Chain A
Amino acid sequence: DAGVTQSPTHLIKTRGQQVTLRCSPISGHKSVSWYQQVLGQGPQFIFQYYEKEERGRGNFPDRFSARQFPNYSSELNVNALLLGDSALYLCASSPGGYEQFFGPGTRLTVL
C-alpha cells in the first residue's frame, strides 16, 4: 500500500512570496495534519483536517492556511514568506484516532 505522499520534495522561495504544499493521505484515511519541523527541533502542529473540516489549529499566524479536498488530499498555503518559515513541512494521515503516519516532507528554503 502506498504511504503518505507529499509534493514537491524541495522548494526554494524568496521572502514575500507565496507557496503551496500538497499531501495525499494513505488510502482510506480521512484525517490529515500538517506539522512544521525547524532544524534541530521536534515537529510543531499547524493544522488538522477531518472530513474536509478544520478540526485543530496550532499557534501559527494567519499567513498559514490549509484545506482538504473531497478525495481527502490536502494543501497547505503560506503567504508572505519569511526567512523563519524555512523548515521541513510534514503531512501526517490518520484513520481517525491518534495514530498518525507521516509523509517524507517538503523541505522549504526561504531566501
Chain B
Amino acid sequence: EDKVVQSPLSLVVHEGDTVTLNCSYEVTNFRSLLWYKQEKKAPTFLFMLTSSGIEKKSGRLSSILDKKELSSILNITATQTGDSAIYLCAVGTGNNAGNMLTFGGGTRLMVKP
C-alpha cells in the first residue's frame, strides 16, 4: 500500500523564522512529488518535483526531492503570518493511462506575529 508521511504534525514559529517541513514516501511507480498549501478549502499548488526536476524555488519557498532517501523537504524562509496554513505533500503514481495522488496527513504551520 502506498504511503506518504509528513513531519512534524504541527509547528508554531514567529515571523521571520525559517521552517523546514518533511515528507517521506513508500510508493510503487513513483512519478512525481507535489506540495500544496491549504488555508481554508482548496489546496493551492506550490511545486511539483520529478526525476528531471529535483529542486524548485519560488520567492521564499523552496523544495528539494531526494529520490535516494525517498523524501522531500519544503523550506520557507522569513516566514510571515500569511504562511499560516496546512502544508500537504502528495506523491503522484500511475502511468499515462491514469494517475493519482497519495497525500500525507499534512503539517499545520502557525506563524505568530
Contacts and interface: CB of A to CB of B under 8 A. Distances in A.
B34 A99 contact: yes
Q: How large is the interface on A (under 10, 10 to 19, 20 to 34, 35 or more residues)?
A: 20 to 34
Interface residues of B, number: 27
Contact of A102 (B31, B42, B99, B105): B42
A98 B32 contact: yes
B100 A45 contact: yes
Given A102-B43, A105-B41, A105-B42, A55 B98 contact: yes
**Interface of B: prevailing SS:** strand
Interface stretch (A14-22, A36-44, A67-75, A79-87): A36-44
Interface of B: 4, 6, 31-32, 34, 36, 41-45, 48, 50, 88, 90, 92, 94, 97-106
Interface of A: 4, 33, 35, 40-45, 48, 50, 55-56, 58, 88, 90, 92, 97-105, 107
Given A41-B106, A44-B103, A103-B42, 17 more contacts: A41-B105, A42-B6, A42-B88, A42-B104, A48-B100, A50-B98, A55-B98, A55-B99, A56-B100, A58-B100, A88-B41, A97-B99, A98-B48, A100-B34, A100-B45, A104-B42, A107-B41
